[in-house]
Structure 1
Amino acid sequence: MTASAASHPAEVALSDIRLSWKQGRAALLDHFGQHPQQVTPLLHGLTRLADQTLQTLWTTSGMPPDAALIAVGGYGRGELFPFSDIDLLLLLEQTQGSNAAIDAAASGFITACWDIGLEIGPSVRTIEACIDEADKDITVQTALLESRFLCGNRALADSLNRAFFAHLDARAFFQAKMREQQQRHLKFEDTPYALEPNCKESPGGLRDLQVVLWVAQASGLARSWKELAAHGIIHVNTVRQIQRNETVIKRIRAHLHVLAGRREDRLVFDQQSAVAKVLGFAPTPTKRAGERLMQRYYWAAKAVEQINQIVLLDIEGRLWPQSVAMAQAIVGLKGVQDGRYVLRDGMIEPADLQLFEQEPWTLLEIFAVFQRAPGARGLSPAALRAIYLARHRMDSAFRHDPRSREQFVRILQAPQGIVHALRLMNRTSVLGRYLWAFRRIVGQMQHDLFHVYTVDQHILMVVRNVRRFFMPEHAHEYPLCSELAAHFDPPWVLILAALFHDIAKGRGGDHSELGAVETRKFCKAHGISAEHTELAVFLVREHLQMSRVAQKEDLSDPEVIAAFARRVGDERHLVALYLLTVADIRGTSPKVWNAWKGKLLENLYRATLRALGGQTPQPEAELQLRQREAQRILNLYALPQGAQKPLWDTLDMGYFLRNDPQDIAWHTRKLYARVASQSPVISARLAPEGEGLEVLVYAPDQPDLFARICGYFDHQNFNILDAKIHTANNGWALDSFVVVSPHTKVHDRAMTGVIETSLLAELGSAAPLPPPHHGRLSRRVRNFPVSPRVGLRPDERGQRWILNVTAHDRAGLLFGIAQVLAKHHIDLQLAKITTLGERVEDTFLVSGPGLGDARIQNTLENELLQAIMD
């Protein structure tokens, strides 16, 4: 041994320990990389390695014999994830500061841990301090509940354990953990189906399982799933189900840590495909690998959420046995045997808990009872547990049993409680096991950049939206929908269509057509009349058409309205399709619906209703009607007689057919005295329909006018929702825009003045157009990119051209398109801007020299593709 080494034995020891820890950890992670399914050996292996390392450090650091080292938290539980903190308690007999030697030894031990690379979360306390902190902080109390002796004074550690449990109030602990769980669930929107779930903290995550065991342990019932089964709280077979789903989530979490190289519990878009690849999920013709992984995760999370609810309700009943009310037999419900079910404190359960095993069709009947029993608030823990245990009875015979079918139709046709029943059926897996087509979309993600819910959650959201149209207390939300729903009978046909409209997603092919086939099969099997079957099938097959026409076609074109009227056939089909369309768009994402889309749909509904009523579209008559209504509005502002004539004489029929009378009146008020003006006129106002601003631009026409206006809005961070472009016969452009800003409070009236001043200055500039402003792509777009598409085709009459552009939404997109159109001297007559989350589907009505030439078309499409891809 050299003199240097002999003089620093602690440094030599620390270097050896550091190397041993580093090599041991690397070996465990390498083994996990080669065997990615084997997560339990990894977690236990890391725990044992940390135990050995800490025990060696404890000895090396010269800790006094009257101190103890205790593992707490997740490490105390014996499950150490690759980058999780190692939570430690240094338990001392005397408080810090009373013995300098002990304080120095404790400080040296903690420093040594950090020096060798252990990510520890240390606390140094006496027994009394531990009890005091536990009384004040439920987190400390929970950590001590899972304490595990590592080394040092075992008697001291045992004393802490006895003192802790002597002070532990099981009821208070239960209530605190329930409040904590409720707050945690609300933080994650109270759903396990978030598109980027936190596999530890989200509802259905590992924390929900840990809460169950914490509460069970604090209540003196059990420390493990097997002990819970021994106490009769869960079934022996359920233990295997829990462990299997727990392993799935642990496996995902461990791989997230490894792939991120740090503690990362969120299954973010960037990591979903990577984790799927590591775990061997291969893409199919209809699903990405990441989608398959997420569906497996959601199934596991759903099962965890279910177990969490069942067991916690059971433990609550054991902790407060006096609060469990006497069972009251449910009687007097038509078609339900008196006394088959009982009500206990508002919760329904079968009188005989073996009922579901003996009569599987009653697994549906209990939900029909839940809808109709007075005072029913839900299903009891005993009922939920019985449903869980009887899930194997929900087989083909169960689905084909006429009694099952009768009960399911009864649930759909119930006058109230439909949404609550279907959601509860989905949470308990009854819905998917009865409707096998629905089971296939449970937990299925939708990587279309505007749905923020899984398919099953979206469907139930649409069912909820439809149901609200029929409830008077929600009439203020969508007055027209509520008015139409009040006269629509029977409501359950719309509920059925909502339940099936997306049921065939993820299979490949047209999900609307495939869904229509599933709907017809369901109706035939359940004895639905031919009339109602036809309407439900029509709605599922056509559920995307109304939004497509409203948002992508020219509603001022009589042929567009006539074609849509032929497609719907009659007023009943139109009303039903309108109601389903509004409910569907509202159920995709809070960001997708806006008042402007609502106005487009309502305009299409009213125009089609007139066409179905036999009113043949007569452009001249419609023009006169709109002018008269606009004149009536103008009279309210006391405009001079005939003041509108100089402006209106410069405008053709297309202008009046594309603008509402209210807009025509507004334009006229702002422009009637400025028709002969030599300078542009800019006017802005709060949009009459919902959020945003309407901006009027009246300026000499020039090739780059639309591009310059788009450039202005782009650099001011405004998104254009709609644009109507019109060139008067005096050579001036009369354009109107509806804009919103994600960054600016556009409801502030001061913004109108800002726009009027700054946009006028921009139009007076002779400077070259600035380059488009490119914003950062969101993580969703980076991971689920939209394939950009450009299509150019003549309209029905062959007089104008329809340009369709699909791309991911980003700053500068519309400006880039406008620059290309200006470059090729393309005249723009109408722009319909459709933003679906982070995808845009824009439609432009254009005309211009040479568009009929295939070479010019090809050049234009290529330049547009380049513009939307940049």
Structure 2
Amino acid sequence: MSAPEPELPDDGDAGAWRQAARRALEDGARRLAEAFDREEDVDRLLARRAKTVDRIVVSAWTRGFAGAPGLALVATGGYGRGELFPYSDVDLLVLAEAESQRDQREAIERWFALLWDIGLAPGHAVRSVAQCAEAARADVTVATSILEARPLVGDSAALTRLLVAMRAPDLWPAESFLEAKRAEWRGRHARFNDTAYNLEPNIKDGPGGLRDIHALGWLAKRLFGVRGLEDLVPLGVLGADEFRVLDTHRRALSRLRYGLHLVSGRREERLLFDYQKILASRLGLHDEHSENLAVEQMMQGFFRSAALVTRLGDRLLQRFDESLRETEAPVGIDADFVRIGQSLALRDAALLQRRPITILRLFRVWQRYPELATLHSATARALGESLECIDDAFRASEEVRALFLGLVRDRHAVPTLERMARLGVLGRYLPAFGRVTGRMQYDLFHAYTVDEHTLAVLRNIEGFSRPESIERFALGHELWQQLRKPELLVLAGLFHDIAKGRGGDHSELGEADARAFCEAHGLSSSDTDLVAWLVRQHLIMSTTAQRKDISDPDVVAAFAREVGERERLDYLYLLTVADIAGTSPKLWNTWKDRLMADLHAATRFALRRGLAQRAHIAERVAEVREAARSRLLDEGLDEAAIDALWADFPDDSFLRYRPEQIAWQAHGIVEAGRGGLPVVLVRPHARAGALEVFVYSPDRDGLFASAAATLDRLGLSIVDARIVTSLGGMTLDTFQVLETDAAFEGMAAPQRAAAVARTLRESLRVPGPGRPPARRALPRRLRHFRVPVQIEFSETGGRTQLTLVCNDRSGLLAQVAAILHAHRIRVHDARIATFGERVEDFFELSDAGNRPLGAAQCAALDAALRECVELA
């Protein structure tokens, strides 16, 4: 039992009263701090502080205004609620009509000065009832403050008149009050970047802070005429479980705020780094290990509270809004879902409990209707109440796993995962994600909590798909379009930091989590290995680029050997860029953009030159074959005909081409028949002004040179080529070409494709390479970007590999092909690619007798190629 508080003298000795009042405040503060450290209930501490201040304020009033008519003292704001933190404002309103204000002006000023003198620092106003109503009408914050009004001493009739005046129909009607408080809510959140996940958050005013809970209480009072949120439960507006969650986290936030005032020694609402460790210690938390410090445990508790308050706050705001509007007629979506205005709703909210898989079906439907901005409040409430249904049995369901994987594979995967995270579903479905929800790292490098950083990384990944991302992620947008399975990058982004805070290497632990997830969800071993490898190595590209000399060939070679193949390189580059840009808004800049792009280019070159490792070849071949077969069967082709054709296709064709390309090629070959050789297929490419060309013909010397020369004469620039020879000696060659002149101007894309196919087919029917291509100078726009010429020869597998790096220009490949043919050199394979102004070509060559090139041949070829490519 606490000792009684010191008495305040009621005689006329002002000095003695001041001393006693100061001592009462100091003793009260000390006792409350001791009670805080004993973990006394925070609501009791707040009420005791308010009661101490009540006693002193009323005593001071009695000394100054005993017997003065027409005056009333009212507590407003948090003090009016009976809640006072150690250094909170003591908000006071002196109610006095105009005449009393004039008569008592000097006395009121002396009285407030007295309160300042003893250390109370009150926030104060002196108004008549009419002035209060006028101020409230002009400023919703004044109206809100008066909602908390609590009489302290004086003319009680004045307070009654004030409350009556505040209920005037034209003074903030419910709809206007809701709209004003919602605008205030949004503005306040915007000041904190719309996230509670700042690492020095504001406990009171930030998103998910105490002010959000207070705002919900004010709305409850104004809209429903109740005393507080708890009174909404019997009305059915707020669920008992929802109130318990809000109240639990109000207490948690209040305890943090109370402790923050104590350790800072002032009215501080921000959890600054200066106070975080001290406060964590005062709360009795201890470091578990280097990745779970006491301060990180405390902050995780805050962020989780803020997230739940935000989630429930959004839900209640919507419910308040719906209560004031005419209910719109539901529009059916399917047997279980409807749309109500711009909200998605369940026909029967209890379905989530009866058939828990509906939880994921809800997000699948939402993906199909992305224009629906929210869940209807009844559905959102039911979803919150059904989260416990996401248990081990739910997660083990094959149907559930297939549905979750479908969500990830959808083009709206990232917004969906973000919604699932905000609504608590993702943390339940992936318990490892739930454990990093709200987890911070106590440093200045990571600007967000782990879960918020993960969502930022996913948003960056999604951003690569949009053309407007070119300005910030030029290479990222280009590489995204080439990904075999974008969902694998999404999964890597989701898991890359999921093991932080456990102790040990989070990359290794996260790799194990990612592998277990992929295997459980039926991903192929190659896809599983790729995701797991990305999670394990998600830091390697960043550390290599920023800590090592990437101009050193040995550094690049070592990195290339670790990466192993081009596909991994592209995925890793995109994950690295998304990760850096998602760590802090200040981290991604043009220097890092250039650094990562340079390492990607150098590694890509090393891999294309011969360092690439081929993993899971058989599995990838089988996967592409099955996907292409499915397309062809849908198009009506006979399975026996497909198998007969593909018996001649080498594995390389299934590795180099996508399933839809294989299907396109196969369909064209089967339709043309053996008598229709050569088969030339041409179709518009996804890239504007581009065409894809496929040539199927008996291979012969000069065929490659003839195709390249013909495309050049047609005014088409070859920007990519893939040369493959079938087991039976047929070409399976593709070219991606861009129009460089007006030869096809005015023709629709299908007409252009048909004209190119016709001309190329006729040209290839004529033996020999045809007319030599024209020699062209380097275009003016490329003269500022001179690429040093690199020509190298090496022997591998009984063939000679030629590496050619130089500036791109129209007709270059046609000229190179003509030179090779003129030197009686056979082209067995080629990997042709253009990267901006830079061409990287790799050829597998032999002499006419299928032997590696001799030294004299290499020297002659080197001279001829240099004369060609160095032409200014």
C-alpha distance in 2, partners of 1:385/1:534?
39
Cα gap change, 1:78 to 1:487, in 2 (>3 Å): same
C-alpha distance in 2, partners of 1:438/1:611?
37
C-alpha distance in 1, partners of 2:90/2:402?
56
Cα gap change, 1:371 to 1:152, in 2 (>3 Å): same
Shift of 1:451: 1.4
Work out whether 1:299 is the aligned partner of 2:295: no
Picking from 53, 61, 64, the partner of 2:64 is 61
Picking from 109, 112, 115, the partner of 2:111 is 109
Shift of 1:498: 0.8
Partner of 1:134: 136
Work out whether 1:345 is the aligned partner of 2:349: no
Partner of 2:329: 326
SS in 2 for 1:203: coil
C-alpha distance in 2, partners of 1:146/1:287?
41
C-alpha distance in 1, partners of 2:128/2:782?
85
Partner of 2:96: 92
Shift of 1:396: 1.8
Shift of 1:548: 1.6
Shift of 1:95: 4.5
C-alpha distance in 1, partners of 2:553/2:272?
47
Q: Is the 8 A contact 2:10 2:63 kept in 1?
A: no
SS in 2 for 1:61: helix
1:14-37, Cα deviation, whole Å (9 max, x unpaired): 44334333333332233223x235
Q: Is the 8 A contact 2:440 2:448 kept in 1?
A: yes
Shift of 1:174: 1.1
Partner of 1:156: 158
Partner of 2:480: 485
C-alpha distance in 2, partners of 1:178/1:613?
57
Partner of 1:51: 54
Shift of 1:471: 2.3
Picking from 262, 279, 285, the partner of 2:283 is 279
Q: Is the 8 A contact 2:87 2:261 kept in 1?
A: yes
Work out whether 1:375 is the aligned partner of 2:375: no
Partner of 2:692: none
The worse-fitting range, judged by mean Cα deviation, of 572-581 and 203-212 is 572-581
Shift of 1:605: 1.2
Shift of 1:383: 1.7
Q: Residue type of the partner of 1:537?
A: A
SS in 1 for 2:167: helix
The worse-fitting range, judged by mean Cα deviation, of 340-349 and 417-426 is 417-426
Work out whether 1:290 is the aligned partner of 2:298: no
Work out whether 1:450 is the aligned partner of 2:445: yes
Q: Is the 8 A contact 2:203 2:269 kept in 1?
A: yes
Partner of 1:850: none
C-alpha distance in 1, partners of 2:228/2:196?
24
Q: Is the 8 A contact 2:560 2:611 kept in 1?
A: no
Partner of 1:768: none
1:331-382, Cα deviation, whole Å (9 max, x unpaired): xxxxxxx221111112111110111111122212211111112632221212
Picking from 222, 227, 238, the partner of 1:223 is 227
Partner of 1:864: none
Q: Is the 8 A contact 2:36 2:45 kept in 1?
A: yes
SS in 2 for 1:83: coil
Identity %: 40
Cα gap change, 1:636 to 1:31, in 2 (>3 Å): closer
Q: Residue type of the partner of 1:412?
A: V
SS in 2 for 1:122: strand
Query: Higher relative contact order by CA 8 Å / sep ≥ 6: 1 or 2?
Result: 1
Work out whether 1:29 is the aligned partner of 2:25: no
Higher alpha-carbon Rg: 2
Q: Is the 8 A contact 1:36 1:278 kept in 2?
A: no
Q: Residue type of the partner of 2:349?
A: L
Q: Residue type of the partner of 2:559?
A: F
SS in 1 for 2:202: coil
SS in 2 for 1:444: coil
C-alpha distance in 2, partners of 1:65/1:22?
33
The worse-fitting range, judged by mean Cα deviation, of 203-212 and 406-415 is 406-415
Q: Is the 8 A contact 2:360 2:403 kept in 1?
A: yes
Q: Is the 8 A contact 1:565 1:612 kept in 2?
A: yes
Q: Is the 8 A contact 1:362 1:404 kept in 2?
A: no
Q: Is the 8 A contact 2:220 2:229 kept in 1?
A: no
SS in 2 for 1:440: helix
Partner of 1:398: 394
Partner of 1:460: 455
Cα gap change, 1:290 to 1:633, in 2 (>3 Å): farther
Partner of 1:792: none
C-alpha distance in 2, partners of 1:616/1:309?
53
Shift of 1:97: 5.4
Cα gap change, 1:634 to 1:501, in 2 (>3 Å): closer
Partner of 2:218: 214
Cα gap change, 1:616 to 1:75, in 2 (>3 Å): closer
Picking from 544, 547, 550, the partner of 1:555 is 550
Q: Is the 8 A contact 2:70 2:100 kept in 1?
A: no
Picking from 144, 147, 170, the partner of 2:146 is 144
Q: Is the 8 A contact 2:461 2:574 kept in 1?
A: yes
C-alpha distance in 1, partners of 2:568/2:18?
79
C-alpha distance in 2, partners of 1:299/1:6?
49
SS in 1 for 2:573: helix
Q: Is the 8 A contact 1:95 1:125 kept in 2?
A: no
Cα gap change, 1:448 to 1:103, in 2 (>3 Å): closer
Work out whether 1:435 is the aligned partner of 2:437: no
C-alpha distance in 1, partners of 2:251/2:55?
25
Aligned residue runs from structure 1 range 67-86, under 5 A: 67-86=71-90
SS in 2 for 1:349: strand
Q: Residue type of the partner of 1:368?
A: R
Cα gap change, 1:72 to 1:23, in 2 (>3 Å): same
C-alpha distance in 2, partners of 1:123/1:28?
28
Cα gap change, 1:45 to 1:500, in 2 (>3 Å): same
SS in 2 for 1:475: helix
User: What TM-score do the two structures reach when normalised by structure 2?
Assistant: 0.67
C-alpha distance in 2, partners of 1:507/1:6?
61
Partner of 2:42: 39
Shift of 1:98: 3.7
Q: Residue type of the partner of 1:326?
A: A
Aligned-residue RMSD, C-alpha? 2.4
Cα gap change, 1:636 to 1:356, in 2 (>3 Å): closer
Picking from 577, 580, 584, the partner of 1:585 is 580
Q: Residue type of the partner of 1:70?
A: V
SS in 2 for 1:614: helix
Partner of 1:204: 208
SS in 1 for 2:86: coil
Shift of 1:262: 0.8
C-alpha distance in 2, partners of 1:16/1:559?
79
Work out whether 1:247 is the aligned partner of 2:251: yes
**Length, aligned pairs only:** 610
Q: Residue type of the partner of 1:80?
A: L
Shift of 1:111: 2.4
SS in 2 for 1:112: helix
Partner of 1:576: 571
Return 5+ residue gaps in structure 2 as ranges.
1-8, 613-777, 785-805, 808-872
Partner of 1:721: none
Q: Is the 8 A contact 1:441 1:506 kept in 2?
A: yes
C-alpha distance in 2, partners of 1:440/1:345?
36
Q: Is the 8 A contact 1:17 1:53 kept in 2?
A: yes
Shift of 1:509: 1.6
Q: Is the 8 A contact 1:356 1:390 kept in 2?
A: yes
SS in 2 for 1:69: strand
Q: Is the 8 A contact 1:96 1:125 kept in 2?
A: no
Shift of 1:596: 1.5
Picking from 359, 362, 367, the partner of 1:363 is 359
Q: Residue type of the partner of 2:319?
A: D
